[in-house]
Amino acid sequence: MRNRPLSAWLTSPRRFLAWLFSPSIPADTDLERRPSAAEATGVAAFLVDVFTRFPFNPVARKWLRENIRFEIGNLNSSTGGGFWHPEEKRVYLYTAQYEAAIHELAHAWWHTRRLGQEDALIGAVQRAASESDPAYARIAGLARGYIHGLPEQGFPGFLTDRNDWEMYAGLASGCMADIRLLPPYLRPFYVGLFDLLPPDAPWPAAIAPHG
């Protein structure tokens, strides 16, 4: 599965549904436990790994490091899940999973930057839900779920409560930080957070050791 060309991933349904839903807030009594020095080092190393493998803009990396607390419950697992706690400016991941890290860091980035852009983002996601260009099939599929819901799964979508923040983070992890997968009208919302990779670069998620 390593080094597959980007185009081979665009129409892959693998993990499609997993990307539709964001992790829920945990009832985890272990959340406030103080990490050991070794754990803190491991968490810092994982963040470096995320920022190395995925095209986070240097300014965003700096801002996230300096302004957001980043914590991981279990460094030895990559099963996923996590949350963004805005009052504490804290990202918590249950495990060291790239997808969850991208998703929750995108929440942290968008939290204040969204103000005044909410309707524009929702409009762009509505447009993506009707996107017919096969190059953007993955994101169009996600957008359709966000806009129209998945009634057979009891998922109402994110339009009913105009949940731009979950649309934003969902598409960030949906493309795994690679905005080449986004239609051009969605990319401006991610400028500053992610850099646009060259056309011939592999999809970073395809050469990562796990999702």
Residues that bind Zn ion (CB under 5 A): 22, 169
Q: Count the Cβ atoms, other than its own, within 10 Å of residue 211.
A: 17
Q: Report, in Å, the least distance between residue 180 CB and Zn ion.
A: 22
Alpha-carbon distance 95 to 75, whole Å? Answer: 6
* Residue 22 or 78 with smaller CB distance to Zn ion: 22
Calculate ∠ Cα 133-134-136, nearest 5°.
80
Two structure tokens written together for 206: 């395809």
Inter-residue contact 40 to 69 (CB < 8 Å): no
* Residue 169 or 177 with smaller CB distance to Zn ion: 169
Q: Report, in Å, the least distance between residue 173 CB and Zn ion.
A: 8
Q: Count the Cβ atoms, other than its own, within 10 Å of residue 99.
A: 25
* Residue 22 or 97 with smaller CB distance to Zn ion: 22
Residue nearest to Zn ion (CB): 22
Q: Report, in Å, the least distance between residue 68 CB and Zn ion.
A: 15
* Residue 128 or 172 with smaller CB distance to Zn ion: 172
3-class SS of residue 55: coil
Q: Report, in Å, the least distance between residue 189 CB and Zn ion.
A: 15
Alpha-carbon distance 36 to 72, whole Å? Answer: 12
